[in-house]
């Protein structure tokens, strides 16, 4: 008798691209398409943008998410194949990640709460550089940073915007966050810092009337912020599945060696 799969009930989601939609039609015809609320696993067909959307949508469900690359950027995705999908799911390795929680207070004292899987970042809204004050665990660490902005990145997000801003790549299981400036002017040689993922990060905007700053948690933007608080939300754990040899840990290692 064939042993039942842990992933008999599969829910498929796909980006609007023709490539992803073709894959969606092929896979749903072959494996069916379960309601996501009743599924054992969610399979996302697209690129990293769709994977982030899917993770956000299922953030509190605890459902494993398995991505297959049918988009542009596929760092978080597995290779696409319609063959023996349930067997692939059974042998996949699981990576567990915690999102960041951003608490942004705007200049009108409204509070905005958003989660981020990749990063929270602040960025100037006008031609003038931002002036920022940085506190870690309620202790001032930098009285003034003049820059285009600053990034707080998770290990999962360390290869995204953070890497483009010359930030460090973090192993997925590292209990760290990357704090990376964007085009720092003062102090010019400051490259950022590595923080424990238990850190409570506060960024205050100096001269918020003259030098307005926006805060972004993945794709959620808050304009004209005055104060932004960031911490890792340990109450939420998301499960990502990767084929053997293509785990997020392995991808991050390869990225560091340019392979």
Give pLDDT tens digits for 138-147. Answer: 999 999 999 9
**φ, ψ dihedrals at 89, nearest 5°:** -65, -40
Instruction: Flag whether 17 is marked binding.
Output: no
Q: How confident is the model over 100-112, as a mean pLDDT? A: 98
When comparing pLDDT for 196 and 1, which is higher?
196
Q: Within a 10 A sphere around the Cβ of 23, how many other Cβ atoms?
A: 23
Instruction: Flag whether 78 is marked binding.
Output: no
Instruction: Flag whether 160 is marked binding.
Output: yes
Instruction: Flag whether 156 is marked binding.
Output: yes
Report whether pLDDT(259) > 60. no
pLDDT attached to residue 110: 98
| The dihedral formed by the CA atoms of 239, 241, 244 and 250, expressed in degrees to the nearest 10 | -60
**pLDDT confidence band for 159 (50 / 70 / 90):** confident
Report whether pLDDT(249) > 80. no
Q: Within a 10 A sphere around the Cβ of 126, how many other Cβ atoms?
A: 10
What's the chain's average pLDDT? Answer: 93
Q: Within 100-197, where are the H helices? A: 161-164
Q: Within a 10 A sphere around the Cβ of 249, how many other Cβ atoms?
A: 16
CA dist., res. 117 & res. 108, Å (int): 27
CATH class of 100-232: mainly beta
pLDDT attached to residue 171: 82
Instruction: Flag whether 163 is marked binding.
Output: yes
- Which residues form the catalytic set? 48
Give the CATH number of domain 10-98+236-256: 3.40.50.10330
Domain map (residue ranges) of the chain:
10-98+236-256, 100-232
pLDDT attached to residue 1: 44
């Amino acid at each position: 008798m064939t042993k039942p799969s842990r992933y008999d009930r599969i829910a498929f989601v796909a980006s609007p691209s023709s490539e992803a939609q073709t894959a969606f039609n092929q896979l749903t015809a072959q494996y069916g398409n379960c309601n996501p609320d009743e599924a054992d696993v969610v399979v996302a067909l697209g690129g990293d943008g769709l994977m982030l959307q899917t993770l956000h949508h299922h953030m509190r469900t605890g459902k494993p998410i398995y991505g297959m690359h049918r988009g542009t950027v596929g760092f978080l995705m597995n290779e696409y194949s319609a063959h023996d999908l349930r067997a692939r799911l059974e042998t996949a390795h699981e990576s567990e990640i915690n999102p960041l929680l951003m608490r942004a207070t705007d200049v009108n004292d409204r509070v905005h709460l958003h989660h981020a899987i990749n990063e929270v970042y602040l960025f100037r809204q006008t031609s003038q550089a931002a002036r920022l004050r940085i506190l870690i665990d309620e202790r001032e660490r930098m009285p003034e940073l003049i820059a285009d902005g600053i990034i707080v990145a998770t290990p999962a997000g360390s290869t995204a915007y953070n890497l483009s801003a010359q930030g460090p790549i973090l192993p997925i299981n590292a209990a760290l966050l990357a704090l990376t400036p964007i085009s720092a002017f003062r102090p010019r040689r400051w490259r950022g810092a590595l923080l424990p993922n238990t850190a409570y990060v506060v960024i205050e905007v100096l001269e918020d009337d003259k030098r307005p700053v926006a805060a972004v948690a993945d794709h959620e933007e808050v304009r004209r912020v005055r104060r932004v608080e960031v911490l890792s939300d340990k109450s939420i754990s998301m499960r990502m599945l990767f084929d053997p040899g293509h785990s997020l840990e392995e991808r991050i290692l390869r990225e560091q060696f340019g392979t």
